[in-house]
Amino acid sequence: MIGKIVKGIGGFYYVKTAEKEIIECKARGIFRKENLKPYIGDDVEISVQNGKGNIEKILDRKNLLIRPPVSNIDILVIVVAAKDPKPDLFLTDKLILNAEIAGIKPIICINKSDLDKADDIVEIYDKAGYEVVLLSAKNEKGSENKIMPLIKGKTTAFAGLSGVGKSTLLGVITGVEKETGEISEKIKRGKHTTRHVELIEMDDGGYVLDTPGFSSFEVTQIKAENLQDYFPEMKNHIGECRFKGCSHINEPDCVIKDLVNDGKISKSRYESYKTIYEKLKSVKEWEN
Ligand SMILES: Nc1nc2c(ncn2[C@@H]2O[C@H](COP(=O)(O)OP(=O)(O)OP(=O)(O)O)[C@@H](O)[C@H]2O)c(=O)[nH]1
Ligand SMILES: [Mg+2]
Ligand SMILES: [Zn+2]
């Protein structure tokens, strides 16, 4: 039987079959040995004996993200709160970058617009060429209509810091509210903070995935020299600098630095580029 992994809890994987039946499965030990861990979103071949499912094979993946841990998605909606928690643009840029590397379309969703209009953040990502949606999942009627047309029929994962409102937004989109909660002042996380990734099927044939918030991770899967290829606002200018192979950091007559100084490329995006570039430079070959 073929199915899709829609949820994973405590070593069990929940596989949805073509008949929309959910079968609880174990992954055979071999996956651990081969370092082929099943991910939510994987299409898998399963066998069922005495009501117990077993994942036999993971079918070819279209793509895989480790942060958040999902496979076969079309769109990554990166949710940023205009306020509470404070926007983390570096994390946002890393999430965007991971999507770009995996060939997944990023969309920036700025939530909690009732608390702040976040003009500066809208401008940063607009300028970079990304689709930006500003809404308030909790306090704006019909906010889901701003995002639904962009993800219709697609498989979309929602990622971002804990407490930005991913689950609230998904509740509005799917009409099912769960796992959202007031932010506890002490730990600054939603009280009902999402603990696992879950794939929810929509009426239009698309899927949406809630994911737990996380705050930091490293990008390591590319070489520093290739980083510019994944920043769309830089990509169009490759080769225009005075030096061939310009890293856009210390070289003179650098078109990218000029664009940053002229305000055509956002400073915060450029700062993220520089920080990630330096980090990638320091990654040893064997780590790559
Ligand atoms: N003011 C305001 N609060 C919101 C909005 N959307 C969500 N919240 C609140 O923000 C808090 C966190 O929301 P969640 O949806 O649980 O956040 P999350 O991103 O799923 O958090 P994790 O599951 O921990 O990653 C809750 O108290 C929500 O009610 C909004 O548009 N405006
Ligand atoms: Mg959540
Ligand atoms: Zn340059």
Tokens representing 138? 């909790």
pLDDT at residue number 288? 53
In this prediction the pTM is 0.92
Rounded Cα distance between 210 and 158, Å, is: 6
Amino acid at 103: G
The kind and range of the H/E element at 4 are strand 2-9
| Residue 3 near residue 46 (C-beta atoms within 8 A) | yes
Third-level CATH fold of 224-287: Ribonucleotide Reductase Protein R1; domain 1 (1.10.40)
Nearest-CA residue for ligand 1 atom 1 is: 112
Q: Which residue has better confidence, 30 or 139? A: 139
Amino acid at 252: P
Tokens representing 214? 């996380």
Rounded Cα distance between 209 and 90, Å, is: 23
Predicted confidence band of residue 188 (pLDDT cuts 50, 70, 90) = very low
Rounded Cα distance between 272 and 83, Å, is: 20
Q: Which residue has better confidence, 175 or 30? A: 175
Residue 192 pLDDT greater than 90, yes or no: no
Tokens representing 4? 């899709």
pLDDT at residue number 193? 83
Best of 115, 135, 138 to mutate for ligand 1, by most ligand atoms within 8 A of CB? 138
The torsion angle over the Cα atoms of residues 81, 133, 70 and 84, rounded to 10 degrees, is 0
CATH class of the domain whose range is 2-58? mainly beta
Give the number of other Cβ atoms within 10 Å of residue 241's Cβ: 19
**Range from 22-31, 71-80, 112-121, 261-270 carrying the lowest mean pLDDT:** 22-31
CATH, domain range 64-210: 3.40.50.300
Which whole number is the average pLDDT over 59-68? 94
Q: Is 143 in the pocket of ligand 1 (CB under 6 A)?
A: no
Residue 33 pLDDT greater than 80, yes or no: no
Neighbours of ion ligand 2 (CB under 5 A): 166-167, 194
- The backbone torsions φ and ψ at residue 32, rounded to the nearest 5 degrees and listed phi first, read -65, -45
The domain segmentation of the chain, as residue ranges, is: 2-58, 64-210, 224-287
pLDDT at residue number 182? 47
pLDDT at residue number 249? 97
Nearest-CA residue for ligand 1 atom 14 is: 165
Rounded Cα distance between 192 and 179, Å, is: 5
> Which atom belonging to ligand 1 lies closest to the Cα atom of 182?
27
Nearest ligand atom owner, CA of 245? 3
